[in-house]
């Protein structure tokens, strides 16, 4: 399945390249296209996340009240979700549907020679940077900027979209961006460009959606 998606993505890249004659611009256009196509799914995911965030104070109150009775706490949480028409799993389904495209993009950009083979007179340059080189092979200032941009954009995206405040969630908020920043040093520059742009667009989408209004339910 991934190979079929990769072939489609390469074909689209080749089409954009025939317009722009630039690898970086073609990649930016492909990223924008994917965001546009997956917009409805992302919309549902973010709406679900904002509803959960709006109910977070109520969830914490219930956890504190029933901290010694997990069964009652789970029952109270289910009632809270039901009365406010919130499904905690609703935000996961859109992510699962988009996951194959994300993996296919990752695999495609990890092997830029496949893209080059599909494009006549291919040039990897974008703003004077060879986007097929690993970030570690770029000048230090550019490499440092790429790593910081990857980690920073990932952190901001997670900070805005994560709901809940337990210890594990807070830990992942910092660990995941640090891991991606570290690994990005060995990624091709084109992959880092895609990841950072994708995160920035996700952050922008988050601000477009108005905050969810909490229901009238109050646990007393």
106 assigned to some structural domain: yes
Lowest-pLDDT range of 61-70, 103-112, 191-200, 206-215: 206-215
Token representation of residue 193? 């460009």
pLDDT at 91: 59
- What 8-state DSSP symbol labels residue 217? -
67 assigned to some structural domain: yes
First-to-last C-alpha distance (Å) of the chain: 51
Tally of domains within the chain: 1
220 assigned to some structural domain: no
CA distance 175 to 162: 14
0.85 exceeded by pTM: no
23 assigned to some structural domain: yes
Using a pLDDT cut of 90, give the percent of the chain over it. 45
118 assigned to some structural domain: yes
Token representation of residue 95? 């992510």
| Residue that is written with structure tokens 């970086």 in the block | 24
Predicted confidence band of residue 163 (pLDDT cuts 50, 70, 90): low
17 assigned to some structural domain: yes
Partners of 129 in beta bridges: 126
43 assigned to some structural domain: yes
145 assigned to some structural domain: yes
- Contact (CB, 8 A) for 63 and 73: yes
Range of the domain at 57: 2-208
CA distance 220 to 80: 12
């Amino acid at each position: 399945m991934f190979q079929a998606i990769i072939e489609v993505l390469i074909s689209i890249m080749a089409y954009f390249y025939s317009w722009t004659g630039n690898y970086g611009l073609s990649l930016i256009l492909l990223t924008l296209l994917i965001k546009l196509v997956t917009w409805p799914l992302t919309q549902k995911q973010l709406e679900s996340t904002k509803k959960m965030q709006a109910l977070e104070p109520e969830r914490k109150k219930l956890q504190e009240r029933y901290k010694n009775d997990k069964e009652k706490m789970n029952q109270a949480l289910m009632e809270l979700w039901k009365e406010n028409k919130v499904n905690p799993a609703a935000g996961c389904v859109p992510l699962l549907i988009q996951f194959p495209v994300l993996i296919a993009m990752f695999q495609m950009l990890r092997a830029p020679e496949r893209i080059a083979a599909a494009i006549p007179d291919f040039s990897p340059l974008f703003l004077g940077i060879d986007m097929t080189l690993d970030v570690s092979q770029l000048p230090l200032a550019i490499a440092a900027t790429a790593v910081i941009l990857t980690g920073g954009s990932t952190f901001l995206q997670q900070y805005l979209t994560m709901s809940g405040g337990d210890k594990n969630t807070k830990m992942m908020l910092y660990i995941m961006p640090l891991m991606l920043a570290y690994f990005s040093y060995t990624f091709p520059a084109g992959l880092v460009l895609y990841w950072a742009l994708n995160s920035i667009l996700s952050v922008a989408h988050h601000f477009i959606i108005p905050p969810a209004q909490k229901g009238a339910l109050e646990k007393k």
